[in-house]
Amino acid sequence: MSDIASYLESQGGRPSAGANWVMDCPFCGRAGHLYCTVEDTEDWDGKKKPAGVWICFGCSERSRDFAALLAEFEGCTHSEARATVGRWKLGKIKLRPPSSYRPKADPLTNENWLPPEYEPTTKVWPKYLTLRDITRETAAAFKLGVCRTHIPCEDCKPRGGCARDMRHRIILPIECPAGRSFQARAIDKATQPRYLSGESSGQLLFGWHTVEDADSAVIVEGPFDALKVAQAGLPTVALMGKDVREQQLEMLRMRRRRYTVALDPIGKDAYAIDSACKLADILDANVVVDLDTDPGDANEGQIIRAVNRAIPPIEARKMALSIRLAKMSKRRR
Domain boundaries, the chain: 3-100, 118-203, 208-329
- Which residues have a Cβ under 8 Å from the Cβ of 51 and sit 6 or more positions away? 2, 4, 19, 37, 38, 39, 40, 41, 66
Phi first, then psi: what are they for 15, rounded to 5°? -65, 145
Contact 228, 296 (CB under 8 A): yes
Shortest CA distance to 117 belongs to which of 209, 182, 174?
Answer: 182
Residue 324: alpha-carbon gap to chain centroid: 26
Shortest CA distance to 221 belongs to which of 206, 239, 207, 246?
Answer: 239
Same fold, 3-100 and 208-329: no
168 versus 80: the higher-pLDDT residue is: 168
**Tell me, what amino acid is at 226?**
A
Rounded Cα distance, 90 and 99, in Å: 19
Domain 3-100 CATH (choose: 3.30.450, 3.90.580, 3.20.20, 1.10.3470): 3.90.580
pLDDT by residue (tens digit) across 111-131? Answer: 468 999 999 999 999 999 999
User: Does 37 have pLDDT greater than 80?
Assistant: yes
Contact 134, 227 (CB under 8 A): yes
pLDDT at 127: 92
User: Does 104 have pLDDT greater than 50?
Assistant: no
pLDDT at 43: 59
Mean pLDDT of 216-222: 94
pLDDT by residue (tens digit) across 60-89? Answer: 888 888 888 888 888 888 777 887 777 675
Rounded Cα distance, 319 and 299, in Å: 24
Task: For domain 208-329, give the CATH number.
Answer: 3.40.1360.10
Tell me how long the chain is: 333
pLDDT by residue (tens digit) across 274-324? Answer: 778 888 999 999 999 888 888 999 999 999 999 999 999 988 888 877 777
Of the pLDDT bands very low, low, confident and very high (cuts 50, 70, 90), residue 44 is low
pLDDT at 105: 36
Instruction: Say which CATH class 118-203 falls into.
Output: alpha beta
pLDDT by residue (tens digit) across 243-270? Answer: 888 899 999 998 889 999 998 765 556 6
Rounded Cα distance, 74 and 316, in Å: 29
- The edge-to-edge listing of strands for the beta sheet with 20-23 is 14-15, 20-23, 34-37, 54-56, 62-63
pLDDT at 45: 54
pLDDT at 100: 36
